[in-house]
Amino acid sequence: MSLKMLNARLSVCDGMLAYDCKPHLVPVTQQLLTLSHQAHASYTAYLERKKLEVAEAKQKKADYIVRALH
């Protein structure tokens, strides 16, 4: 488990303690919805960056192999 995932889980657990571990008591406010959308957009952008990094690494490796063969 990564450090980010562990911190996220701990944050959720700490937040739930304020509501006696009953998620149905957490108020769904406009701020919560806005922050949720921002978090989703940020995570989607992170995944896209990672996908591009992997694609670039594969391309560099393929280019290196082609150059080595010639």
21-69: per-residue pLDDT in tens?
A: 898 999 999 999 999 999 999 999 999 999 999 999 999 999 888 888 8
Q: What's residue 5's pLDDT? A: 87
Say which DSSP state 21 is in: T
Whether the CB-CB separation of 47 and 53 falls below 8 Å is answered with no
Residue 63 structure tokens: 């280019």
Q: Give the confidence band of 4 by pLDDT, cuts at 50, 70, 90.
A: confident
Structure tokens given for 27: 């108020």
Q: Provide mean pLDDT across the span 12-28.
A: 90
